[in-house]
A and B are shown apart, each in its own frame.
Chain A
């Protein structure tokens, strides 16, 4: 998927749905990078994110009430765990798609948080005129602030105890939003 096809896709959507669709495309690109870098050998998707993909969907990562796409993972094997490297690769992938992005990463004792944002997409898709919070019909409220640039945030939970454990969960194959990848989901 390229920047042009992403913009083409969102151009046909209602104004309020555009950031959600963009987040979905960014999330797919991020997860495809995780797949390519064998990230699912050491982390698995948990919580609401796992539920979402477990229900058979290649779908929307953020609801209308959330400005970020959010993914939650859990670390189960330290071997091959290089989240910063994955993030750089995701940024590189977006670059090849024609999208300039910004990344960030924070390490805490019990969690690692990374994010990727694409401010130039917001400008190109005219998201500045979109409200960050939209109602159920996808229409915007003029009193609310403009939507932030599309982006995806991921949180990796780091267990405080020993993390070496057998690979948990099940594997699903996801196809959608221009990418195809495997995911490891926690049961």
Chain B
């Protein structure tokens, strides 16, 4: 396989794997390994993890956000923990890129030129409380549209335009990466880091806006638009902790409620002051 064939076949994609390359080339696995090795050595290909690649910068046709790669690198998983809390602007930004995710799979860490991707193991019953990653748009809408249009059998049954639109939307949304909601990201962090989470330990996290205030909680999807800080709703956090059925997480949620109540009363006193933003602002 020539590099120009690779560009033709996978230039439009965010990532591709070794099996895709091997099948598309029709060559023996050994030959494909050699070619991949050469492309990597000459800087044309970046290996995200063993057998998973993206094209390097001049050849890549898409702008890739590192967070979009978290799920493909170790699927199924979703972004959570400290990275998600930073994304929701509840923790201050830190130098260095470490994308923290959770998965039911064994814990792993991968390092590549996009950053460090760490995956913590979460029991399967704790995999809930996620939303579509708002900044991501990895799906090629044109392909999706033509696919549904060309569909043979069920399309007859789904003639109505609304159904087609629903299907297109469903296929697109199913392919988007996911991120934990602010409350779930905090619970996941409590679970992953272990130990007892009392008010002192929670306060030590340095959460910028620990509880929900007037700004909207729902993410606003769109390229480059980050949601306004959603804050953490103590009630929602409590409900999620109850759903998890873990006494330690329930205690952590109660401690958080106490912390939020404390800060809330202080916040009410501060409300008369001219400006006291919840968000920690850059100097």
Interface check A167, CB cutoff 8 A: yes
Docked-complex contact B19 and A1, CB < 8 angstroms: no
State in angstroms the CA–CA spacing of A36 and B13 once bound together: 18
A82-90, A107-115, A146-154, A177-185 - interface stretch: A177-185
Docked-complex contact A96 and B152, CB < 8 angstroms: no
Query: Interface 1/0s, chain B 132-169, versus A by CB < 8 A?
Result: 00000001100110111011111011111001001100
Interface check B174, CB cutoff 8 A: yes
List of A residues within 8 angstroms of B105 by Cβ: 96
Query: Interface 1/0s, chain A 46-62, versus B by CB < 8 A?
Result: 00100110011111101
State which size class the interface on A falls in.
Answer: 35 or more
List of A residues within 8 angstroms of B178 by Cβ: 2, 5
Docked-complex contact A175 and B143, CB < 8 angstroms: yes
List of B residues within 8 angstroms of A52 by Cβ: 151-153
Interface check A128, CB cutoff 8 A: no
Output the nearest chain B residue to A167 by Cβ-Cβ distance: B26
List of A residues within 8 angstroms of B13 by Cβ: 173
State in angstroms the CA–CA spacing of A180 and B150 once bound together: 19
Interface check A127, CB cutoff 8 A: no
State in angstroms the CA–CA spacing of A98 and B125 once bound together: 7
Docked-complex contact A171 and B23, CB < 8 angstroms: yes
List of B residues within 8 angstroms of A17 by Cβ: 158, 163
Query: Interface 1/0s, chain B 49-93, versus A by CB < 8 A?
Result: 000000000000000000000001000101000000000000000
Docked-complex contact A176 and B163, CB < 8 angstroms: no
Residue of A97, A136, A173 most packed against chain B (CB within 10 A): A173
Docked-complex contact A56 and B153, CB < 8 angstroms: no
Interface check A163, CB cutoff 8 A: no
Docked-complex contact B171 and A176, CB < 8 angstroms: yes
Question: Would A13 and B170 be within 8 Å (CB), given that A4-B127, A38-B19, A182-B24 are in contact?
Answer: yes
Main secondary structure of the interface of B (DSSP, over half): helix
Interface check B8, CB cutoff 8 A: no
List of A residues within 8 angstroms of B127 by Cβ: 2-4, 98
Interface check A119, CB cutoff 8 A: no
List of A residues within 8 angstroms of B130 by Cβ: 2, 4-5
Interface check A156, CB cutoff 8 A: no
Residues B94-114 near A (CB distance < 8 A): 103-105
List of A residues within 8 angstroms of B159 by Cβ: 136
Output the nearest chain A residue to B14 by Cβ-Cβ distance: A180
Query: Interface 1/0s, chain A 1-38, versus B by CB < 8 A?
Result: 11111100100110001001100010000000001101
Output the nearest chain B residue to A94 by Cβ-Cβ distance: B76
List of B residues within 8 angstroms of A1 by Cβ: 76, 174
Interface residue from A40, A64, A97, A171 paired with B157 (Cβ < 8 Å): A64
List of A residues within 8 angstroms of B154 by Cβ: 20, 59-60, 62-64
State in angstroms the CA–CA spacing of A171 and B10 once bound together: 13
Docked-complex contact B147 and A56, CB < 8 angstroms: yes
Question: Would A40 and B175 be within 8 Å (CB), given that A20-B154, A55-B152 are in contact?
Answer: no
State in angstroms the CA–CA spacing of A40 and B17 once bound together: 14
List of A residues within 8 angstroms of B163 by Cβ: 17, 138
Interface check A165, CB cutoff 8 A: no
Chain A residues within CB distance 8 Å of chain B: 1-6, 9, 12-13, 17, 20-21, 25, 35-36, 38, 40-41, 48, 51-52, 55-60, 62-65, 93, 95-98, 136-138, 167, 171, 173, 175-178, 180, 182, 184
* New contact pairs (11) apart from A2-B130, A52-B152, CB-CB < 8 Å: A1-B76, A2-B76, A4-B127, A9-B173, A55-B151, A58-B144, A63-B153, A63-B154, A176-B147, A177-B174, A184-B23
Chain B residues within CB distance 8 Å of chain A: 9, 13, 19-20, 22-24, 26, 72, 76, 78, 103-105, 124-125, 127-130, 139-140, 143-144, 146-148, 150-154, 156-160, 163, 166-167, 170-171, 173-175, 178
A selection of 21 A-B contacts at a CB cut-off of 8 Å is: A1-B174, A2-B76, A3-B127, A13-B170, A20-B154, A21-B170, A55-B147, A56-B143, A58-B147, A59-B147, A59-B151, A60-B167, A63-B154, A97-B76, A98-B125, A136-B156, A138-B163, A175-B139, A178-B174, A182-B19, A182-B20
Top 9 A-B pairs, shortest CB-CB distance: A57-B147, A55-B150, A178-B174, A60-B154, A96-B104, A98-B124, A176-B171, A182-B23, A64-B157
